[in-house]
Amino acid sequence: MIAWIVGRPLIAARRRAALRSRSLDDEQRELLRHNWPGYRRLPAALAARLDELTAVFLGEKEFVGCRGLVVTPLMRLVIAAQACLLVLAHGRLIYDRLRSVLVYPSQFVVPEQWQDEDGVVTDDERVLAGQAWDVSRILLSWEDVRESGRGGDAYNVVIHEFAHYLDHETGGADGASWLGAFAQRRRWSAILQREFESLQAAVDGNAETFLDPYGAEDIAEFFAVASEAFFEQPRDFADERPVLYRALCDYYRLDPAAW
pLDDT in tens, 118-144: 666 566 677 888 998 777 899 999 999
What percentage of the chain exceeds 70 in pLDDT?
Answer: 80
The mean pLDDT value for 58-68 works out to 95
User: How many angstroms separate the CA atoms of 150 and 166, rounded?
Assistant: 24
**pLDDT attached to residue 8:** 47
Of 240, 226, 235, 225, whose CA–CA distance to 255 is shortest?
235
pLDDT of residue 117: 67
Beta strand 121-128 pairing with 130-132:
unpaired
Q: Which residues contact 180 (CB under 8 A, 6 or more apart)?
A: none
How far, in Å, CA of 168 to CA of 158, rounded?
15
The radius of gyration computed from the CA coordinates of the chain, to the nearest angstrom, equals 19
Comparing CA positions, the residue from 244, 252, 255, 258 lying closest to residue 86 is: 252
Find the helix or strand (DSSP H, E) in which 53 lies.
helix 44-60
Residue with the bigger pLDDT between 179 and 222: it is: 222
- Closest to 43 (Cα-Cα) out of 257, 192, 224: 257
Task: Place 49 in a pLDDT band, splitting at 50, 70 and 90.
Answer: very high
74 pLDDT higher than 80: yes
Dihedrals φ, ψ of 120, to 5°? -80, 125
The answer to whether the CB of 138 falls within 8 A of the CB of 165 is: yes
Give the least confident one: 33-37, 146-150, 200-204, 225-229: 146-150
Q: Measuring CA to CA, how many Å separate 123 from each of 20, 139, 189, 230, 251?
A: 45, 21, 34, 35, 37
Q: Which pLDDT does position 2 carry in this prediction?
A: 63
Give percent of the chain with pLDDT exceeding 90: 64
**What's the mean per-residue pLDDT of the chain?**
86
Select from 194, 162, 197 the least CA-distant residue to 178. 162
Domains and CATH numbers, the chain: 1-151 (1.10.472.150), 171-259 (no CATH)
pLDDT of 249 > 90? The answer is yes
DSSP for 184-213, please give it.
Answer: HHHHHHHHHHHHHHHHHHHHHTT---SS-G
pLDDT at residue 182, as a whole number: 72
pLDDT for the residue 246: 97
Nearest to 219 by CA among 240, 192, 244: 192
Q: pLDDT tens-digit profile of 83-121?
A: 999 999 986 666 888 999 999 999 988 776 666 666 665
From residue 18, give the alpha-carbon distance in Å to each of 53, 99, 111: 11, 19, 41
pLDDT band at 167 (very low <50, low <70, confident <90, very high): confident
Contact predicate 216/199, CB 8 Å: yes
Q: pLDDT tier at 4 (50, 70, 90 boundaries)? A: very low
Question: SS3 of 126, please?
Answer: strand
pLDDT at position 108: 84
Burial status of residue 7 (CB atoms within 10 A of its CB: 0-12, 13-18, 19 or more)? exposed
Q: Is the pLDDT of residue 55 over 80?
A: yes
pLDDT of residue 118: 62
